[in-house]
Amino acid sequence: QSALTQPASVSGSPGQSITISCTGTGSDVGGYSYVSWYQHHPGKAPKVMIYEVSNRPSGVPDRFSGSKSGNTASLTISGLQAEDEADYYCTSYTTSRRLWVFGGGTKLTVL
């Protein structure tokens, strides 16, 4: 069982917006601004899409945005494109013994 809770799957049509939630506790998501999101295409290296809750690395389209409220972080993808179809993972830094906790991953299907 993963430390952070994500929906197993979400789907949307091209051009639509979707939001993936990531729920933790006050010891991780709620306690720090160190939530990051990763896009993972099977067989490839994961790619960071959002860091520190809402920051986008250079090269990541502004269709990707992040936010946090309490113990729940969210990744929103607007203007869905076929290439967005992938697995998405959230992670949070935590000062518990685990240091980093991941969500179980969400499979995004672009219909």
Partner 1 sequence: EVQLVESGGGLIQPGGSLRLSCIVSGFTVRSNYMAWVRQAPGKGLEWVSVIYSDSSDSKTYYADSVKGRFTISRDNSKNTLYLQLNSLRDEDTAVYYCARVSGGWYFDYWGQGTLVSVSS
Burial of 84 (0-12, 13-18, 19+ CB in 10 A): buried
Q: Strand 86-93 vs strand 106-110: parallel, antiparallel, or unpaired?
A: antiparallel
Nearer to partner 1, 30 or 46 (CB): 46
Distance, in Å, from the CA atom of 58 to the CA atom of 52, rounded to the nearest integer, reads 14
CB of 15 to partner 1, least distance (A): 28
Judged by beta carbon, residue 40 or residue 63, the one nearer partner 1 is 40
Q: Which residues form the interface with partner 1 (CB under 8 A)? A: 2, 32, 34, 36, 38, 40, 44-48, 51-52, 55, 57, 89, 91, 93, 97-105
